[in-house]
Structures are given as C-alpha cells and as structure tokens.
C-alpha cells in the first residue's frame, strides 16, 4: 500500500474514531448520570434549558448560528446548506491576523496566493473566490479589497456552494461559496482589552479593543478597535506595516434597531514579495524555501475606507422592514497579487524573473432594502422575505512592467530593473448589479420539517475599458437572469439530527466575444448559471457537531465552435465532492475541529473536446484539516494545540501535463489563561509550519504557482481590564 493511500485511510480512520468515541462517551455519561440519580434519589431542582442556549461549540470557537444571506441568522441544523462560522475566540486563540489565516481549520477552503503577500484569493469547493468578493454581514462590495484583517471581526463564516438566491451575484461572479464577515458589536459586558503581539522575524504590534453599552436598558453600544504593527516578517528582507481603525455603533430599541460601521485600513509590505512562477516543462522543480527573497525592492501598499449603515423597524407583530447601505473607497499600488513574478522555471530552478507594478482605485456603493414577516396558513408556518439590492463599482487601473533577468528560485540573482509605479490610471471597468429576490420558509410540526422556496431576478450591466487607452474595449454588457432555489430540512427523530438537501444556482457575468475574426464578434453571452445539487446530514449531541454533505456543481464557460466560427456558452466544468466537517468535544479536556474533503473537479466540455475528462487545474482530489486542543489538567489554564493541513496532488495546467506533489503542514501552539493583579491575562504562542516544509501552495489562472508559508513563530499577551 503506497504512502499517499495509507495517509488518506488514516485520515478517514481518525475521523470515524473521533465521531464514534464522542458518541460512546456521551452515551456513557448519560448512563452514569441516570444511575447516580436513581441510587441517590436526592431532591433536584429542574431547570429547562433550550438545546441551543449554548450558542457555540469547541470552547467558543465555532458559532452554532450563521448568517444565511436574506434568510438572516439561522442555526446550522435549520439551514439546508453547509456552513461553518469561526468566532473571534477562534481568531484570537490561533493568532490569525487575516481572513486566510482564520480559515486554517476549514477543509473546504484553500488559499491560492502566497502567504506574506497582499492578495488573498481562495478556492471553495474547487471554485475561485477573490478577496473583494467577500461579504460584509451578508452584503457584497463593502469588505477590504485585498487582504482582510481580523481584529475588528466577530465571525468569519464559510458558506459552501452556489448562493444566488441568498446573497445575490458577487462582483467577480464567484460561485463556489461565500466568505461572510460579521463585525464586532458592543456586548452586554464592558470590554477593555489590550493585546501585544510578536511574529517572526521581528514584527511587533498592539491591538486595543474597547466596547461599552449605555442607556437605561443598554440600548446604545459602541465598539472601537485600533491596531498598529510593524517589523520584519518571515520572508527575508520584507518589512510589514499594518494599521487599522474601526468604530461600530449600534442601537437596540423595542421596535427599532440600527448600526453604523466605519473602518480605515492601511497595509504596506516593502523589501520583498513572495514568489509566483510558471514552469517550463513537465519536470517541475522542487519548491524553494518560502523565506527566500527572489525580488529585493518589491513592495505593495493598500488602503481601504468604508462606512456601512443598517436600520430595521418592526412595524407590526412579526413584520420588519430593513435598509442597509454603504460605500467603500480603495486604492493600492505595487506588486500586489502579482507578487514576485517568474517565467519558465527549469528543474534546476533557473527561471526568467520580471516585475509588474499595478495601481488601482476602486469605488463601490451598495444598498439593500427588504421586508421580513411571519404568518400561518393552517398548520404551516411561513417566514417570508422580500429583498432588493443594487451594487455599483467603478475601477481604475494602471500597469507598468520592468525588465527581465535570469535568476534561480533557490539562489536568486540581484534584481534587474524593477517596474515603476504607474502614473496613468484610467478607468478600466464599471459594473452595476441589481436584483430582487423572494423567499419563503415553510415549517411544519414545530420546525421538524422545513421547506425553502425562492427566486432572484438579477440584472448585470458592465462596461470594460482599455488599460492602455481608457477607451471602451468591449461592447456594453447588459443581461439578466432568473435563478430559482429550493431547500429542505427534515429532523426525523429529534432536534439532534438534521437531513437536508438543496438545488440552488449561482451567477457569473457571461463573456463577450472579442475575437474580431469570429462570425459572432461583439456578442455577449447571457449570465452563466452554475447549478448545485446537494444532500447532507448534520448531527449535534450537545457538545459536538458533525456534518456530511455530497454535492455536484456545474459551471458553464465560453468555447469556440470551429465548424461555425462562433463562440457559445457550451463549455462546462463539473465539480463533485464529499465533505465531512466536525467541531466539538471528544473528551472533557480534548476538542477537535476540521474535516476531510474529496473532490472530483472535471473539465466535461471543452473546445473540440481537447481536454474533456481532464482534471480542472489547481484543484486536488483530497484535502483535510484536522486540529486538536488539549486542556492540560495538571496545569490549570494551560491548553496545547496542533493542526494538520493536507493537500493532495493537483495539476497546474488544463492539459494536465504539469502536476504538483501533495503536501502536509503541521502547526502547533498553546495558550495559558491566568489572573494577574485581578486582571484576566492570556498568553498565546504558536509555530506555523513547524517542520519548515517547502511546498507549492496553489495555482493561479492555469499558469502561475505560489510558494507556501515559511516557518513562522507567533506570540501574544492579552489583558482584559
């Protein structure tokens, strides 16, 4: 039996053992409890506690509730979709400073770009999601545009699969899932928290988090987060500077609720950017040390400011109107997501380096209005929502290229002429997305059976302009599409087991035919409809949740029909997968978080059938993330942690000629909770990539491959005043 197969079987064996061990322990505890009660026959005080009174799992690191777009916040067992919500507690315990770092326990998500860069692009269910396509409390267009800091977030949620009905169409047309960001709010208890951080090689930071509620009924709230960090990173020669300021105001009245979020972020990387390179042949070079600086002098700067307001009013019993609106301004320049680029790397590491400097300015306005209500028709409970939204984005972009020079990924030569910052930044795109959606959740027999029906009418208006001249580079795109959805939840035995299924679609803007020799030159394809079928099961036993889902997603694309010299939307990618995710308590002092994924992403319809049956590039068949936490009984307050990340082999190109090897990474850490001078103090430490594994982390655009994370040390001290 080969090593890869043994490893996969060991993952599945560990997973099953965790689930069965938890079930056996829970049953034993219940049996012992019953016996003790009978033998002692002592008087008791009965307290009725709702099953979901505890709102989190895994020692507060995973929320039982998630934001499901227009459906609002729902418990996982009541949602016919796969979703996991990682809380601020998880983010703090893992010292995650970006959204990508906050998803290191999620087996369904992979980071495409290199660490120590400013671009964070993701694969969810084998489909790309760009950083500007993340949602802010259910709304697109308002999140930081490049790398997203976590210090002002209460939850980072992963919704898996297509979601046009629930969230609408994203600005980039991502359909594999939605990463939703929920901002921090003032809690009932006052918060005054100072966190001092260190990360290798010499990066120090301070984070202040203050929250208060005011008023006779604590109806007014304010939450302020401020961050400043500076110093050297684990990439040789790179210096990082991070600044964040955010204010979250809210009001909670009897019938009226409102909030206002304002944030300002600036991040700068200078001296180096991580390597991203293409390969010259089938002989792929071994991954270099990710701390190697292949382009000294490269840099990146990004700034984002935004303001988002929300208000909702209960105008009658069980009926609410709401309005959300926001604006975002972003600007950036430098080597950004392109990083330190290289071409045609040989097996010995020789390659051609070149630099590309981009500048971009993005302005977005987003608004949503809606109506929610509950009513009954006979024995059926209805939860109705009507929503309309509009997103408008204008983008400007400039590009300049430097010289090329010969180098080596293991022993880089001195940089050649680096590209200068662009001075001409023309308008390159304008897009307006507008839609109206209607959904009804029908519930029967005290929510034991639930059926969700809905549809969204989406309009897309888009115009592209040349980055060189600023003139229109394609015909005006103006199309619309109707996307239906249906989902069901069945709890056949009790509220601990939920069977679910869904059919839901996702939308991406159709391509325009720009080939001047084509018979249908200038034609615009209708918006591409990705279609998902999914069934699954969720199980909770009070301290533990397991989810198992099976899905298929098909995504169209444009291909050329050579017989007619025309382009059409008959191309297709089909992703099938099985996902197991878990979170909770194995033993009283042992917890597990993560899961295992098997995917089969196939090119099913390609031009002339050339690549039919090939794997989709950049998508492995196997992924797993399994993390464990152990509370050390002998030392009160001490918790030790370990997390494993495995990614299987994947192809770099559509022809499936270049194949990346599989890799596994081990992260370890710990925290110690104590009291000093009557103040709660938490010390945390960790090592990411403990064994300093060199690996190729991800594939971008069927050509470029990014390096992984260097071994990185992290320390922090958090004080609650």
pLDDT, tens digit, 9 for 90 and up, residues 173-212: 999 999 999 999 999 999 999 999 999 999 999 999 999 9
Nearest to residue 400, comparing CAs of 379, 418, 374, 387?
418
Token pair in block for residue 619: 């998508």
* Distance from C-alpha of 21 to C-alpha of 15, rounded to nearest angstrom: 10
**Mean pLDDT of the region 516-540:** 92
Domain boundaries, the chain: 59-720
Asked whether the predicted pLDDT for residue 21 surpasses 50, the reply is: no
Q: Assign 26 a pLDDT band (cuts: 50, 70, 90).
A: very low
Alpha-carbon distance of 521 to 697, in angstroms, equals: 38
Q: Which CATH architecture has domain 59-720?
A: Beta Barrel (2.40)
Tell the burial category of 686 from Cβ atoms under 10 Å away from its Cβ (0-12, 13-18, 19+): buried
How far, in Å, are 124, 279, 555, 698, 702 from residue 128 at the CA level? 7, 21, 12, 11, 12
Arithmetic mean of pLDDT over the chain: 91
Query: Dihedrals φ, ψ of 328, to 5°?
Result: -140, 140
Work out the average pLDDT over 631-639: 96
State the pLDDT confidence band at 366, using cuts at 50, 70 and 90. Answer: very high
Nearest to 297 by CA among 351, 357, 241, 255: 357
Residue with tokens 């960001």: 181
Tell me: pLDDT of 44 over 80: no
Contact in structure between 434 and 369 (CB atoms under 8 Å): no
Pairing verdict, β 696-700 and 704-707? antiparallel
Mean pLDDT of 122-143: 94
Q: What is the 3-state secondary structure (H, E, C) of 591-641?
A: EEEEEEEEEEEEEEECHHHCCCCCECCCCCCEEEEEEEEEECCCCCCEEEE
CA dist 312 and 371 (Å) reads: 9
Q: Spell out the residues 6+ positions from residue 32 whose beta carbon is closer than 8 angstroms to its own.
A: none
**Mean pLDDT of the 278-284 span:** 95
pLDDT digit string, tens, across residues 67-113: 999 999 999 999 999 999 999 999 999 999 999 999 999 999 999 98
The Cα–Cα gap between 433 and 417 comes to 41
- 90: phi then psi, degrees, rounded to nearest 5: -60, -45
pLDDT at 239: 97
Count CB atoms within 10 A of the CB of residue 37: 11
Q: State the sign of the Cα–Cα–Cα–Cα dihedral 134, 135, 139, 145.
A: negative
Q: Is residue 270 packed enough to be buried (19+ CB in 10 Å), middle (13-18) or exposed (0-12)?
A: middle
The helix, strand and coil proportions of the chain, stated in percent and rounded to the nearest 5, come to: 10, 55, 35
Measure the CA–CA gap between 234 and 82, rounded to whole angstroms. Answer: 35
pTM score: 0.91
What gap in Å lies between CA 625 and CA 645, rounded to an integer? 5
Give the Cα separation of 254 and 633 in Å (integer).
Answer: 45
CA distance 305 to 331: 9
Q: At 256, which helix (H) or strand (E)?
A: strand 256-270
Where b means 16+ CB within 10 Å and e means fewer, 563-584 reads: eeeebebebbbbbbbebbbbbb
| Inter-residue contact 453 to 133 (CB < 8 Å) | no
Residue 680's pLDDT is: 97
Joined together, the tokens standing for residue 170 give 């994203």
Using only the alpha carbons of the chain, give its radius of gyration.
26
What three-state secondary structure class fits 23? helix
Question: Rounded CA gap, 219 and 241, in Å?
Answer: 37
Tokens linked to 618: 């950049």
Q: Which residues does 123 contact at the CB level (< 8 Å), separation at least 6?
A: 109, 110, 112, 129, 176, 618, 619, 698
- Quick one: which of 478, 602, 463, 527 has its CA closest to 173? 527
DSSP for 115-154 reads TTSS---EEETTEEE-GGG-EETTEET-S-SSS-B-TTEE
Q: Given a cut of 70, is residue 19 above it in pLDDT?
A: no
Nearest to 275 by CA among 704, 713, 712: 704
pLDDT tens figures, 313-338: 999 999 999 999 999 999 999 998 76
Q: Residue 522: its pLDDT value, please? A: 83
User: In the structure encoding, which two tokens stand for residue 298, read together?
Assistant: 């490269």
As separate numbers, helices (DSSP H) first and strands (DSSP E) second, the chain gives: 4, 40
Contacts of residue 488, defined as CB under 8 A and 6 or more positions apart, other chains included, come to 80, 449, 450, 451, 452, 500, 501, 502
Which carries the bigger pLDDT value, residue 35 or residue 268?
A: 268
The torsion defined by the Cα of 567, 570, 573 and 577, in degrees rounded to 10, comes to 160
How far is Cα 125 from Cα 109, in angstroms, rounded to an integer?
A: 7
CB atoms within 10 A of CB 231: 17
| Residue linked to tokens 């307001």 | 309
Sign of CA dihedral 337, 342, 346, 350: negative
């Amino acid at each position: 039996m080969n090593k890869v197969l043994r490893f996969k079987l060991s993952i599945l064996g560990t997973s099953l053992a965790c689930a069965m061990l938890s079930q056996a322990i829970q049953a034993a505890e219940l049996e012992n409890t019953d016996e003790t009660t009978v033998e002692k026959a002592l008087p008791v005080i009965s307290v009725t506690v709702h099953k979901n009174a505890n709102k989190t799992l895994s020692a507060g690191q995973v929320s039982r509730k998630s934001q499901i777009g227009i459906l609002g916040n729902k418990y996982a067992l009541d949602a016919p979709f796969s979703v996991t919500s990682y809380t601020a507690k998880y983010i703090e315990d893992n010292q995650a400073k970006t959204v990508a770092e906050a998803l290191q326990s999620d087996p369904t998500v992979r980071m495409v770009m290199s660490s120590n860069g400013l671009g964070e692009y993701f694969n969810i269910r084998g489909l790309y999601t760009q950083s500007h396509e993340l949602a802010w409390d259910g709304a697109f267009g308002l999140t930081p545009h490049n790398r997203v800091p976590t210090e002002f977030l209460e939850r980072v949620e992963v919704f898996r699969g297509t979601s046009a009905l629930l969230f609408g169409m994203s600005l980039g047309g991502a359909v594999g899932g939605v990463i939703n960001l929920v901002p921090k709010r003032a809690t009932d208890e006052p918060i005054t928290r100072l966190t001092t951080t260190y990360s290798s090689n010499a990066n120090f930071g301070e984070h202040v988090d203050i929250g208060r509620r005011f008023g006779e009924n604590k109806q007014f709230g304010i939450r302020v987060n401020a961050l400043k960090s500076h110093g050297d990173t684990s990439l040789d020669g790179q210096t990082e500077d991070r600044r964040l300021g955010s204010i979250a105001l809210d009001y909670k009245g009897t019938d009226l609720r409102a909030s206002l979020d304002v944030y300002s972020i600036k991040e700068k990387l200078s001296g180096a950017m991580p390597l991203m390179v293409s390969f010259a042949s089938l002989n792929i070079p071994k991954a270099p040390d990710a701390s190697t600086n292949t382009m000294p002098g490269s840099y990146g700067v990004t700034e984002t400011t935004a303001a988002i307001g929300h208000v909702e009013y209960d105008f009658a019993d069980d009926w609410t109107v709401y309005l959300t609106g926001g604006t975002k301004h972003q600007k950036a320049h430098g080597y950004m997501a392109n990083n330190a680029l290289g071409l045609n790397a040989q097996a010995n590491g020789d390659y051609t380096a070149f630099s590309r400097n981009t500048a971009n300015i993005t302005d977005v306005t987003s608004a949503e209005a809606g109506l929610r209500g509950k009513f009954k028709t006979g024995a059926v409970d209805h939860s109705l929502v009507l929503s309309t939204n509009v997103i408008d984005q204008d983008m400007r972009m400039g590009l300049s290229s430097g010289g090329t020079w010969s180098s080596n990924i293991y022993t880089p030569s001195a940089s050649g002429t680096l590209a200068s910052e662009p001075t001409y930044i023309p308008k390159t795109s304008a897009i307006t997305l507008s839609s109206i959606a209607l959904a009804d959740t029908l519930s029967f027999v005290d929510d034991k059976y639930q059926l969700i029906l809905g549809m969204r009418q989406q309009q897309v208006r888009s115009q592209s302009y040349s980055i060189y001249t600023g003139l229109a580079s394609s015909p005006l795109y103006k199309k619309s599409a109707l996307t239906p959805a249906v989902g069901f939840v069945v709890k056949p035995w009790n509220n601990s087991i939920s069977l679910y299924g869904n059919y839901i679609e996702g939308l991406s803007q159709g391509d325009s035919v720009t080939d001047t020799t084509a018979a249908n030159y200038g034609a615009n394809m209708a918006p591409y409809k990705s279609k998902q079928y999914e069934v699954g099961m969720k199980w909770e036993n009070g301290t533990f949740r397991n989810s198992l889902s099976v899905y298929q997603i098909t995504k169209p694309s444009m291909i050329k029909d050579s017989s007619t010299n025309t382009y059409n939307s008959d191309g297709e990618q089909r992703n099938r997968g099985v996902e197991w995710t878990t979170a909770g308590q194995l033993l009283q002092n042992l917890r597990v978080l993560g899961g295992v994924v098997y995917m089969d992403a196939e090119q099913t319809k390609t031009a002339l059938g050339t690549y039919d049956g090939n794997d989709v590039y950049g998508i492995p068949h196997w992924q797993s993330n399994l993390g464990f936490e152990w509370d050390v009984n002998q030392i009160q307050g001490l918790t030790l942690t370990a997390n494993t990340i495995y990614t299987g082999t994947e192809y770099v190109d559509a022809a499936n000629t270049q194949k990346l090897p599989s890799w596994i990474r081990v992260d370890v850490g710990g925290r110690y909770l104590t009291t000093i001078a009557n103040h709660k103090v938490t010390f945390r430490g960790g090592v990411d990539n403990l064994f300093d594994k060199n690996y190729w982390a991800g594939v971008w655009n069927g050509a470029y491959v990014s390096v992984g994370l260097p071994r990185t040390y992290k320390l922090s001290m958090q004080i609650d005043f």
